[in-house]
Amino acid sequence: MKLQTLSTNKSHGGVQGVYSHASAETGTEMAFSVFVPDHAPGAKLPVLWYLSGLTCTHANVTEKGEYRAACAEHGIIFVAPDTSPRGDDVPDDDGYDFGKGAGFYVDATKEPWAKNFRMRSYLESELPELVAASFPVDMARQGITGHSMGGHGALTISLRNPGRFRSTSAFSPIVSPLNCSWGEKALGGYIGTDRDDWRQYDACALIADGARLPDLLVDQGTADNFLGEQLKTHLLEQAVADAGISATIRMQDGYDHSYYFISTFLVEHVGWHAQRLKA
């Protein structure tokens, strides 16, 4: 897989880059950003994956996340992929919550989405292989986090791949697509109407079906206008309590769904992951 460098900038002693490659999974050109902190020659560093939310690209967290100083301090590589395939030939929808920018981190099985919308396989297989071959990462020390739809992606990818990630966190995650209109539209459209097929993409259902995490950190703003109808944090609180999963789920007073909220707590999340990735 040939990697093309779109841009590089020095930041906090390291390099913030944006790259692209031709994806075999999505059949499109895919862009992603990587921050590599300064490090000793030959050193391998832990990696933290960040999955973005609806309508976003890699650029949102790269430009607004304020994570680089913390990653430089802790010696962590930060990777931010896109949220969906893109291109003139990729099918789309008029709504912001389906199609381009709304891949929901699933492998679509329904037409016309099945050809390109393979974000699960892209993130669980193809992109990690490319990152491992191109950057100084220690793939035995991976963490994953994300926001909103990306929080859903981080939780479900980690739950489906036990032992791959030493640490998992999320910001304002969609915790149960089975129980919100965003999830019903996305999963129904991408993989069909059989709700049993949806369970592999629902964090609460995966936990109920036996999937486990060693630890979990979630931050959710109380002023988030999507909290009641789409995010439903209380369902995750109940799921982890029933399963006996060690989890810190914090309701942050007055914070909304924006990057003002994410950037406030992302440094703390990086430090939380660092403790587990360096152990």
How many Å apart are CA 129 and CA 127, to the nearest integer?
5
Non-local CB neighbours of 16 within 8 Å, separated by 6+ positions: 8, 9, 10, 33, 34, 35, 62, 68
Long-range Cβ contacts of 249-253 (<8 Å, 24+ apart): 249/216, 249/218, 249/220, 250/217, 250/218, 250/219, 250/220, 251/220, 251/221, 251/222, 252/219, 252/220, 252/221, 252/222, 253/222, 253/223
Collapsed DSSP state (helix, strand, coil) of residue 220: strand
Query: Counting beta carbons within 10 angstroms of the beta carbon of residue 82, is it exposed (0 to 12), middle (13 to 18) or buried (19 or more)?
Result: buried
* Beta-strand runs (E) in 52-107: 77-81
Joined tokens for residue 214:
């060693």
The catalytically annotated residue of 107, 224, 269, 273 is: 224
- Residue 257 designated active-site: yes
The catalytically annotated residue of 23, 52, 148, 167 is: 148
The catalytically annotated residue of 147, 257, 269, 273 is: 257
Determine how β-strand 247-252 pairs with β-strand 14-22: unpaired
Query: 260: how many CB neighbours lie within 10 A of its CB?
Result: 11
- Residue 148 designated active-site: yes
Non-local CB neighbours of 125 within 8 Å, separated by 6+ positions: 25
Q: Which residues are catalytic?
A: 148, 224, 257
